[in-house]
Each structure stands twice: as C-alpha cells, then as structure tokens.
Amino acid sequence: MSKIWLEEIEHMGINELRITIASRGIFFCVPKVTVSEFFPCNINLLPVTQKS
C-alpha cells in the first residue's frame, strides 16, 4: 500500500500532487484549501490511503 505522509505533501506543488496521484492512484487527505478543492476528504484522515 502506498502512503505519502503530510511532510512530503507539504513540499509538493499542485502539479506534483497531480503527477503523484496519476502515478500512484492515491487519495490525498490534507487540510489545505488548494488541495482539498481537488481532493475533498475528511481532514481527520491525514495519512493518505491508497485508492482501492
């Protein structure tokens, strides 16, 4: 299972997030407006989980 932690996400731009999602097929759950607009989720689920 692929997991990307918040520390890694914070250093990525939105383009990098898109590329990572495209290559890994994962959801990002982060309490940032710019990210949650694209990937809405419960901010209590901060560790990302792989899309099944």
- What are the tens digits of pLDDT across the range 28-45? 554 444 444 444 454 444
Residue 18 neighbours by CB under 8 Å, 6+ apart: 38
In this prediction, residue 43 carries a pLDDT of 42
Q: CA quadruple 48, 50, 14, 23: dihedral positive or negative?
A: positive
Percent of the chain with pLDDT over 70: 0
Structure tokens at 13: 């731009």
- Residue extents of the structural domains in the chain: 1-52
Phi/psi at 39 (nearest 5 deg)? Answer: -130, 70
pTM over 0.75? The answer is: no
